[in-house]
Amino acid sequence: MMIYIFLLAAFTLLLYMYIEAHRNRVSIDTVNIDKLPVSFKNFKIFFISDVHRRTITIKLVEKAKKADIVIIGGDLVEKGVPMDRVEDNIKMLSKIGPVHFVWGNNDYDVDINYLKNTISDNGAIILDNTCISLKRNNEVLDIAGINDLSFGKDRLEDAVMNCSSSCRILISHNPDISRKIKKEYQIRLVLSGHTHGGQIRLGPLGIAKRGGWYDEGYYKLLVSNGFGATHLPLRFGAPCEAHLITLN
């Protein structure tokens, strides 16, 4: 009898972990950042990282349709994912708003030129150690994106070089970019993923940095649990998520 109870409990736990790894969960966040131009108050960013093998559905798009811009925080793909799925995912995200992308470590698992062309051909902009300036009523908000730290391709100084405002948002797949941020870069917000929040964790115990918001003094840092999973499509204590972020 006990063995049946154990097997039922194990099956129930695995089912729960599988469901947690496949939800269309969107965290609704409002973040106060310094030097935000008045014209960009209530500006909404849909941030999604670590898609990996998942498919973007209309259910997720509907939850994020109020966003002004979409940012993919790396690991859009991994080894074994067909490129037509990547193309479909970008097309779905484009229904929300203009799409921007930064490289993650798993994006290098595939033919990088093929991936680059797939992203660009579907209207998304790649932020590869570069910056874009968004303008509203003669005010500017800068969004800089860097390549992934894992392969030493990040060039933070280059990314902020052409920024023109005193309010800069940095997109980095890996939150360890925090070690390289200097106050003079005028970065007010950092959006990252990579850690999956540990993916499977017991309270404070996990193999990687817990997902959530961190106050780093002169800027705020988001470490997303990520939308997909790697290795095992299971989660516990770190549910999958994307983010609808309102600037204030």
Distance CA 192, CA 243 (A): 11
**Tens digits of residue pLDDT in 185-202:** 999 999 999 999 999 988
Tokens representing 157 are: 């100084």
Domain with 217 in it: 2-247
Largest interatomic CA distance in the chain: 72
In contact, 143 and 118? CB cutoff 8 Å: no
> What pTM was computed for the model?
0.95
pLDDT tens per residue, range 123-151: 999 999 999 999 999 999 999 999 999 99
Q: Which residue positions in the chain have pLDDT lower than 70?
A: none
CA distances from 152 to 76, 110, 113, 160, 189 (A): 19, 18, 18, 17, 22
CATH number, domain containing residue 141: 3.60.21.10
Q: How far is the C-alpha of 233 from the C-alpha of 22, rounded, in Å?
A: 8
81 token code pair: 């994912």
* Run of H or E including 156: helix 156-161
Number of domains in the chain: 1
Structure confidence at residue 143 (pLDDT): 98
Nearest to 219 by CA among 35, 27, 28: 35
Parallel, antiparallel, or unpaired for β 69-72 and 26-31?
unpaired
| pLDDT score at 147 | 97
